[in-house]
Structure 1
Amino acid sequence: MKHFLRVVTQFFVFLYCKCLWRGLKFVIRKVTGRCELQRICHNNKPGARRTLKIESSLRYSKNELCQSALSAHPDRVEKTIDDIMTLKKVNPDTNPQLGISLQASLFQIVGYRSLVSEVEKLRREPYDCENPDHEEMLMKLWKTLRPDSPLTGRISKQWCEIGFQGNDPKTDFRGMGLLGLHNLLKMSKAEWEQKNFDKAIGYSFAIVGINITDLAYSLLVSGALKTHLYNVAPEMPSLSHFQQTFCYLMQEFHRFWIEEDPCDIMEFNRVRSKFHRRVLRQLKNPDMALCPHFAASDLHLVNL
């Protein structure tokens, strides 16, 4: 009985707070002459600080049009913005900046959702040694990292030289699928000396790259990367932005590994978990950009 009364009390407190909040928003609009979306755009600079608040406002709106805006197709974003401004009784002629700001943020929101789907599709596609495209990417990875050392065979101990765990690399891609291979190939093309990774104690490029791919993937699907991507992608975050982030995480993890100075590879999980927590703390800052000094287009990578 006590439990029932507590649940009922909590329910009515929730309803009271909800009504109070809506009433407060109504009063604020009457006083300021601006709806909540207008206030967000006016009081917050472009980027994650603004887009995260717009995303929250739309998600918790009582209006289905606002809620559905979060899942709008990119081609429908402009029409969706027009509908929202009509709903909010905002004149686009006297308030042109609101439409521009909402459009930029909504492109980021729907772009992030599309990026999650694209990355998930790559992750779910297993490496297939019978697929010539997959094999071509794998051979390209070897030639990029060991241009002066031809492979003696498709199944070879040489794969261990670049950090795979066995004679056939396909077994290491089981967790991250083609996403792991795509990221390794992108990283191998970046302006970063792969040999630096080999200098770390018990540290191998390929298997660590797949592991950091898993870390980047978890940050993406959990929504933690919204802060970073909303700050570095002016419109729709793309796969290039994700791969840029992966390359950054690889470089930072290498530095972090050296700083931690672990005794051996058995400490890898501890160091990785500590690094993961540090990145999560950084991403809680709405002004954070993990790699703020260059955009995805500035990363010197060769297209697949």
Structure 2
Amino acid sequence: MDDSSSFVAVRHHLSRSIESRHSTSVDIVTGSATWIGRSLSCVCAQRSESDDRVAIDLTPLQEERLQRLKRRIEVSFDGTRADHQEALKALWHAAFPGRELHGLVSEQWKEMGWQGRDPSTDFRGGGFISLENLLFFAKTFPKSFQRLLQKQEGNRATWEYPFAVAGVNITFMLIQILDLRSGICTNFVEKPRTLMGAIFLKMLAEDEWAFDLLYCITFVMMDAQWLAMHASYMEFNAVMKATRSQLERELNMDDVLRLEDMPSYSFLSQ
């Protein structure tokens, strides 16, 4: 049996195992930190107490890459760090080429979809990796990044979702779905124990930047859901819930062996 057939067989086994014991879906619920105005909150994936676990073995490559990813996740955004400041400036220049930024605290940031004049306050739930994700999106798929940032396509609502804050929500949601919010120590890394986490580890073995790429796919998937649902500002949570369901369906398709095989990958353009 080749690697692809083996992966499909393992996925079928894990899916049947979970479905036989756990028939209720896991909802996206609101968290405590208000990120999107006063009415909407951080959209978080919350696992119920009855959620089943999947036992998987890691290859040395998977363990190494998973440990690096978890370390990235643990880094909080720190506005006093020079490298974090430079990353924030780089995001501005990627979003608005040729436009001068008047400061790390400025009314200009609202144009990108941050809540206020200081974007550092919006990184609470996503950490520094959420800024890295936005930068990866901007540099890897600049056309898609600009299309979503500028809301260039579709019949848009009067009250649109704030682009940057939505991006932080997506990072946080992916961390929860893939069961990545667990600690690491010097000689041991706690591995994901859910079906989505197990599937993602296969992708991580194929591509060290799998998390960042999945972020880009999820962002364009979310925007497509937003348009399909004719959503407006107050329906952001419902859109994120629908996005999560679609993401899980696509990751669990038999013919999706790489992230590039996901149907929503076709929404991305460089």
Range class of TM-score, shorter chain: 0.5 to 0.7
Is 1:194 aligned with 2:145? yes
For residue 150 of structure 1, the aligned residue among 95, 100, 104 is 100
Is 1:141 aligned with 2:79? no
Asked whether the 8 Å contact 2:177–2:196 carries over to 1, the reply is: yes
Q: Which residue of 2 aligns with 1:70?
A: 57
Structure 1: stretches of 5+ with no match in the other structure = 1-40, 57-67, 75-106
For residue 196 of structure 2, the aligned residue among 224, 228, 231 is 224
The structural deviation recorded for 1:229 is 5.5
Asked whether the 8 Å contact 1:138–1:181 carries over to 2, the reply is: yes
Change (3 A) 1:149 1:118: same
The structural deviation recorded for 1:239 is 3.7
For residue 204 of structure 1, the aligned residue among 156, 162, 173 is 162
Q: Which residue of 2 aligns with 1:160?
A: 110
Q: Tell me which moved more, 247-256 or 198-207.
A: 198-207
The structural deviation recorded for 1:253 is 1.3
Is 1:48 aligned with 2:7? yes
Structure 2: stretches of 5+ with no match in the other structure = 16-54, 180-193
Change (3 A) 1:54 1:256: closer
What's the secondary structure of 2:147's corresponding residue? Answer: helix
Give the number of the structure whose residues are more often helix, by fraction. 1
Q: Which residue of 1 aligns with 2:212?
A: 243
What's the secondary structure of 2:261's corresponding residue? Answer: coil
Asked whether the 8 Å contact 1:227–1:286 carries over to 2, the reply is: no
Is 1:267 aligned with 2:225? no
Is 1:122 aligned with 2:72? yes
Which amino acid is the alignment partner of residue 233 of structure 2?
Answer: I
Q: Which residue of 2 aligns with 1:283?
A: 251
Partners of 2:209 and 2:7 lie apart in 1 by: 19
Superimposed CA distance per residue, residues 4-34 of structure 1 (whole angstroms, 9 cap, x where no aligned partner): xxxxxxxxxxxxxxxxxxxxxxxxxxxxxxx
The structural deviation recorded for 1:279 is 1.9
Superimposed CA distance per residue, residues 83-115 of structure 1 (whole angstroms, 9 cap, x where no aligned partner): xxxxxxxxxxxxxxxxxxxxxxxx5xxx1x444
Partners of 2:237 and 2:121 lie apart in 1 by: 20
Asked whether the 8 Å contact 1:162–1:204 carries over to 2, the reply is: yes
Partners of 1:47 and 1:140 lie apart in 2 by: 42
* Alignment: residue pair count: 205
Which amino acid is the alignment partner of residue 255 of structure 1?
Answer: A
Asked whether the 8 Å contact 2:95–2:138 carries over to 1, the reply is: yes
Change (3 A) 1:132 1:178: same
Partners of 1:48 and 1:238 lie apart in 2 by: 16
Q: TM-score, normalised by structure 2?
A: 0.65
What's the secondary structure of 1:122's corresponding residue? Answer: helix
What's the secondary structure of 2:209's corresponding residue? Answer: helix
Look at both structures and tell me which one has the larger radius of gyration over its CA atoms.
1
Over the residues paired in the alignment, what is the CA RMSD in angstroms?
A: 3.3
Asked whether the 8 Å contact 2:229–2:239 carries over to 1, the reply is: yes
Q: TM-score, normalised by structure 1?
A: 0.58
The structural deviation recorded for 1:224 is 0.4
Partners of 2:87 and 2:68 lie apart in 1 by: 19
Change (3 A) 1:239 1:171: farther
Structure with the bigger RCO (C-alpha within 8 Å, sep 6+) is 2
Taking only the aligned residue pairs, the percentage that are identical comes to: 27
